[in-house]
Amino acid sequence: MSPLMLIINTLFDLYILLVLLRFLLQMLRADFYNPVSQFIVKLTMPPLKLLRRVIPSVGGQDAASIVLCLVLIYAKFMLMRALSIPAVHIGGVLAPIGGVGYGGLLVFCIADLIALLLTVFLVAVIIKVILSWVSPGHYNPVIGLVDRIARPVLKPVQKFIPAIGGLDLSPLFATLLLIIAKMLIVPPIIYLGNF
């Protein structure tokens, strides 16, 4: 990986992550008075304010955030193509961004967004487990948001796998399910984008 590609990836990916987190926190009804939530809202407000004028909410969800994520991913891929970067890794799969048309590039954007979403849930579950070992019972703004993001993944698993002798194994199974979901969902989408 060249230093220029690393800089492009880092800058774009950090902002895409912030926009996706804003969408998730809004969808999961997180506490927007939380200082971390306020930070995310302030950084993502300018472009979303413009997009919301033309893109309405869909089913009560902020469609403008998803559109902004896709536009940013598309811009990142176009910039990489302009720099003659032939392929990128999306969810562990090599996607040939230099060898597909604009429609295929859009399909790769969708695959990248899904891979990022699954990664966010995976990281939230792992952080929740680590925090439960390191500082159980303590609260800070980050713990509240991590808990809110991990909850939709852990709750269904906890219904099928209850705690055994005080030991909650649901994060282990949730992690495995997220990894398997990423392996089953992302490659077919990338394959579809190659046509």
How would residue 111 be classed by pLDDT, with cut points 50, 70 and 90? very high
Give the pLDDT score at 16. 97
The residue written with tokens 């906890």 in the block is: 158
**Average pLDDT of span 138-146:** 81
Q: Which residue has the higher pLDDT, 137 or 118?
A: 118
CA–CA distance, 93 with 173 (Å, rounded to integer): 23
Q: b/e for 35-73, b at 16 or more Cβ within 10 A? A: ebbeebbeebeebbeebbeebeeeeeebebbbbbbbebb
Mean pLDDT score, 40-46: 94
Does pLDDT of 138 surpass 80?
no
Q: Is a pLDDT exceeding 70 seen at residue 194?
A: yes
For the chain, percent of residues with pLDDT exceeding 70: 98
- Tokens linked to 77: 């891929």
pLDDT over 80 (residue 53): yes
pTM: 0.91
Tokens of 87: 């392929």
Residue 116 binned pLDDT confidence (cut-offs 50, 70, 90): very high
Q: For 12-35, write each residue's pLDDT tens digit.
A: 999 999 999 999 999 998 888 889
- Per-residue pLDDT, 1: 59
pLDDT tens per residue, range 149-170:
999 999 999 898 888 877 888 8
Tell me the pLDDT band of 124, cut-offs 50, 70 and 90: very high
Model confidence at 143, pLDDT cuts 50, 70, 90, reads confident
The residues with which 164 forms a beta bridge, in sequence order, are: 167
54: left (phi over 0), alpha (psi -120 to 50) or beta: alpha
Following DSSP, what letter does each residue of 8-49 receive, concatenated? HHHHHHHHHHHHHHHHHHHHTT--TTSHHHHHHHHHHHHHHH
Helices then strands, counting H and E runs in the chain, come out as 6, 2
Helical (H) or strand (E) element with 167 = none
